[in-house]
Structure 1
Amino acid sequence: MKILISIFALFFSLACFARLTDGKVQVAVKDNKWTATIASGFHFNKEAPAALMANGKEISPSTKEEQKMVFDISSVAGKSYEISFYVCDDKKTVCEEHKFAYRSEAGLVGDKPLKAVRKELPVSSKVHVNSHGFIENNLEAALLKASKEKKLVLVDFGAPWCPACVRLETEVFGTAEFKKASKKLVKLALNADMQTNKEFGEKYAIRALPTLLILNEKGEELYRILDFKPAPALVAELKSVLSKKLTSLADVQKKAEAGDKAAMTFMAEQAFNRLDLESAVKWYAKVGEMNHFYAYSEMGLAADKDLKDQKNRDAYIAILKKWIQKQPESYTAITARNDWAGLYEDKKKIPAELKAELQKNLELLSGFALSEEKTKKLFAEWKVSDLAPFEHEEILATLHTSSTAAQNEKLADAVKAQLQQSLQKKNLSVDRPGEILAGLPYFRKAGLAKEEGEWLQKLVTAYPDTYVYHMKLSAYYVRQKDFTKALPEAKKAVELGSDLKFMNLKNLAEIQKNLKLKDEAKASIDQALSLPEAKLEKYKATTTALTEMKKSL
């Protein structure tokens, strides 16, 4: 789309005070290109995040060099948008973030600090709010609104490919009960894959998606919720935490350290939700309540160690056995038995003690598979994760794992057939895409490849402009070794998905390599290696793999 020529108001820099790098950037807009150059003695930081944000979406720069920054702005015609990047002095004494915020209204171009004018602008002109009332990808705007309205901030930190995140978006946030419960909160949605939100994820040590945070107006964390929860459960938890009128986690910690049991339980639960398993174990041990969260904290902490080391392996098995003995008929014990069996690649080497435990699993799970009432009661008591509407399928999948480990092939085959029948009768709908995504691992477990592909095709048809389903359908075709069908889906994922463009380009290059499209594969690799992600430490292995792939072509 060609950009419409209009007058935009420009506000330069976040700070309300002069900085060393202020006034060192010159900007020109021409032929759908936003071009910035830099004064002598300064440079753009190529390693730091740089992005154009519009309507909650992120666009990477087409050129990112030390002396020049270029963005293609043809797709933001008539829209409000913000461009951010970092400027450093050549002496490397400072490196400061700069933001240019444009709004699609008539007005004068000026150089007032962004913070100084934000209060004068209506919210709609500077932030994008989604259909559920969440400000999208703008922490500063959310905190400013919270400060002005004396409210707390509810942050939804997720990603469009995450099944539980999609379920929150499509099954919970639009409900009347959630909207009512969250009315007194400023709501903020942050896409974890956007480079501009990476710092937030690191600052708050977010290790799993989705993570919901409640922050005060200063951005201090007060409470954390992990994983998908249906509307009634999430609303109840929000009401509970808001009724506590928390002002500081430090205050709760002081009470916990003084021996307050309720405070200790709170600290344990919050540590678990941060996946800080070491702290969770410490607090749960002090509380003395042998619950499932304590069990998974202790088992997870032991599993994090190198299990190739016999001492660590023996310690891990001891922890699994401890919780099997403590809660022998719980789902925690059932999964612990399977995890124990998973340590043995050769099932013939499974010790007699474990064989007896696996037999208990077969008996328990066979009983649950025959009773919906017992299954629901089992998971109601477990509470670690909400598995609806796949509780029955979870029981069957777990029973299949146990029967395979016990080398009971006849039972394993029968259970697999039951799982297939159960899934084929499942009432799934593209109106609930998160449910479908959550169900796909069960389809794979059941060997229903055809049905898995059909559901992904339905999602692509229902949501053609969403990169996620093209990406997942491409991956499906790759698993089927059908690279010809995978190719157009991979290309569409790259075209639509700026968030995961780096990884999608890698997938595309691998498909092109398998189709012997060497020149196209090289071009995809070069494009991936030119992106900022290729310079990040967390993607070092992927960057190395891309470089090696190019050499092999």
Structure 2
Amino acid sequence: MPNALRRSKISLLAAALLVALPAVDLHAAEARTPPTIDEALKASAQQHRPVLVDFQAVWCYSCYYMASHVLNGPEWDAVQRKAIVIEADADSPDGQTWMKKLHASFLPSYVVLDEHGNELGRISAEQPRASFYPKINAILATGNTLEGLKQKAAKGAPGDVANVLEAYQARAEGSDGLSWFASLPASQQQSARANQRVGLALDQLALAKALVADDNAAVIANAQKVLAQDIGCQRPYVLENLFEATDKLPATERKSLLAAQRKPLDQYVNTQVLIAKPACADQRSAVLTSVQLDEALGEHDAAAAILDRAITQTRQRLGTNLASDRNLADNLRIYLLRAKRSAELDDYQHQLIAAYPDDYVYAYRYGRNLVETGKPAQALPYLAQAADKAYGANRLAVALQRVKALKALHRDDEANKVAAEVLETNGPWFPQQADALKAALKA
């Protein structure tokens, strides 16, 4: 997310929190950045406004899209007047704690809470403006809690039943959603199934349930059902489920099954993604899914062609100012990487580091790539640059690559020092990353 946008939203929240805090605490509140979700909830109780939590991360390309294209302008200003808006970084202890608590598995996710921390509704993944604002304004206006939606659905309207099922789908709670539907009177179930939204939601919940159960046969069956319907911008994600579930099938059988997806995916890419004004926010997933499908079908020229097309179009849209649209800028990096244009990618990564000097991401990624390609000495300056700006879980990730580079150069004392400093300050919060760093020291 661009730093200017980050500062703007934090300052608005800080102002809201100052209203709710005693005067003697003003200096401390001004120095506290960013505010926590708990602090926002305290302000919510006094201001009688809901809290809108924006779960995001500095490495999240979909978050870049939302920051540049959606979370701005008069509509966003209006949202910020209705709710206390707080950014929750997925790499921070506070962000990780609340993501687990709310079962938020997507980035970005926008979760609206009441003053007690109860969920009023959520929007998952990136959305075009035309979709995001009607959804968020409806949640802020009515507080569409899951229990409230269930009570409304008890009256029997199929659209209300669909709302409940879609809420379960947003939470990836397939079993719970299907169990709730099964608890409805048989006559209501029969009536609801005639509704297109209900039918699609039931198929999507069955897919979610199969994914949790790691039941590949059920994933294949339900993914095909979902893909046979008009699912708009969700198509790449469901196709990814199908790719993974069919990975161990005999080659001929898998190719035959996937071939049926070629025409609808081409139509999706050509009409909603690689056009002047894309209807779907996540262009990257569409392009990469198309490449993956081409390769699975043995159509390698077609895979190269769509990457070339995406690279050309992205460069045209982005122009020379990489800081103008970080979503597009990062998409181009991935397309060059996937197309194995190594020389272009190397030059481009230097441009990205220069375009975004205030965060750790691109220096870290470039340094990591140099470590992975056997160039530890060249990697260290970039990793040191990233370390100066990293925080939370990021600090452990950067330290891991520094340790690998230093050990490759037989500078074990320096590696131990780097690890010790980071483990002391950040290790207790992120045990999994800490374990990986400790293992690297022993390698």
Give the TM-score, by structure 1 length.
0.64
Residue 218 of structure 2 corresponds to: 315
Task: Write the distance in 2 (CA, Å) between the matches of 1:174 and 1:123.
Answer: 30
Question: Is the CA contact 1:358–1:402 (under 8 Å) kept in the aligned structure 2?
Answer: yes
Question: Given the superposition, is the C-alpha separation of residues 373 and 398 from structure 1 closer, same or farther in structure 2, using an over 3 Å criterion?
Answer: closer
**2:134 paired with 1:236:** yes
Which of 1 and 2 has higher RCO (CA within 8 Å, sep 6+)? 2
Q: What letter matches 2:104 in structure 1?
A: I
> For the Cα contact (< 8 Å) 1:334–1:361, is it kept in 2?
no
Asked if 1:516 corresponds to 2:410, the answer is: yes
Q: Secondary structure at the match of 1:173?
A: coil
Residues 343-375 of structure 1: per-residue CA shift (max 9 Å, x gap): 56688x3234x4344434444455566x44797
Taking the aligned partners of 2:356 and 2:231, their CA distance within structure 1 comes to 43
In the superposition, the TM-score normalised over structure 2's length comes to 0.77
2:396 is equivalent to residue 502 of structure 1: yes
The share of aligned pairs that are identical, in percent, is: 19
1:253 alignment partner, SS class: helix
Matched, 1:461 2:354: yes
Q: Match of 2:13?
A: none
Contact 1:127–1:141 under 8 Å retained in 2: no
Secondary structure of the residue aligned to 2:324 is: coil
Q: Find the partner of 2:299 among 394, 408, 421.
A: 408
Q: Is residue 2:421 matched to residue 1:527?
A: yes
1:162–1:210 CA contact under 8 A, matched in 2: yes
Paired residues of 2:51 and 2:85 also in contact (CA < 8 A): yes
Matched residues in 2 for 1:211 and 1:120: separation? 32
Question: Does 2:431 align with 1:539?
Answer: yes
Unmatched tracts of structure 2, length 5 or more: 1-6, 9-16, 183-188
Residue 61 of structure 1 corresponds to which residue in structure 2? Answer: none
Cα deviation for residue 191 of structure 1 reads: 2.2
Partner of 2:255: helix, strand, or coil?
helix
> In 2, distance between residues paired with 1:269 and 1:225?
11
Deviation at 1:395, TM superposition (A): 5.1
Aligned equivalents of 2:132 and 2:233: distance in 1?
A: 22
Query: Would you say 1:350 and 2:245 are equivalent positions?
Result: no
- CA apart distance, 1:187: 1.7
Structure 2 Cα separation of the partners of residues 402 and 532 of structure 1: 41
| Deviations 1:54-89, CA, capped at 9 Å, x for gaps | x99xxxxxxxxxxxxxxxxxxxxxxxxxxxxxxxxx
Compared CA separation, residues 332 and 184, structure 1 to 2 (3 A): closer
Give 1:169-318 correspondences, 5 Å limit: 169-243=67-141, 245-246=142-143, 248-257=145-154, 259-282=156-179, 287-288=192-193, 289=197, 294-306=202-214, 312-318=215-221
Q: 1:510 to 1:283 in 2, by over 3 A?
A: farther
Higher strand share: 1
Amino acid at match of 2:352: L
* 1:446 alignment partner AA: A
Contact 1:154-1:188 at 8 Å conserved across structures: yes
**In 1, are the aligned partners of 2:50 and 2:140 still within 8 Å (CA)?**
no
Contact 1:265 1:284 in 2 (8 A): no
Q: Which amino acid aligns with 1:264?
A: V
Instruction: State the one-letter code of the partner of 2:218.
Output: A
- Which SS does the other structure have where 2:44 is aligned? helix
Q: What is the Cα-based RMSD across aligned positions, in Å?
A: 3.9
* Contact 2:318–2:328, Cα closer than 8 Å, also in 1: no
Q: 1:419 to 1:458 in 2, by over 3 A?
A: same
Per-residue CA deviations over 1:105-143 (Å, capped at 9, x if unaligned) read xxxxxxxxxx9x96432896454599xxxx832334423
Report the Cα distance in structure 2 between the residues aligned to 1:302 and 1:413, rounded to whole angstroms: 33
2:50/2:114 contact within 8 Å kept: yes
Aligned counterparts of 1:334 and 1:186: Cα–Cα separation in 2: 33
Structure-1 separation of matches of 2:236 and 2:326: 29
Cα 1:330–1:359 shift into 2, 3 Å: farther
- Cα 1:470–1:459 change in 2 (3 A) is same
Deviation at 1:162, TM superposition (A): 1.7
Change in 2 beyond 3 A, CA 1:336/1:255: closer
The 1:125–1:526 alpha-carbon spacing in structure 2 relative to 1, beyond 3 Å, is closer
Deviations 1:399-440 (A, max 9, x none): 332222122344444444444444444425312223323443
Using the alignment, how far apart are the partners of 1:438 and 1:293 within structure 2?
30
Higher helix share: 2
Please give the alpha-carbon distance, in whole angstroms, between the structure 1 residues aligned to 2:404 and 2:438. 12
| Aligned match of 2:330 | 437
Alignment coverage as a number of residue pairs: 414
Q: Flag the 1:241–1:545 CA change in 2: closer, same or farther, 3 A.
A: closer
Match for 1:386: what amino acid?
A: A
Native 8 Å contact 1:292 1:332 kept in 2: no
Among 157, 160, 163, the residue aligned to 2:61: 163
Query: 1:467 touches 1:492 (CA, 8 Å); kept in 2?
Result: yes
Q: Is the 8 A contact 1:397 1:419 kept in 2?
A: no
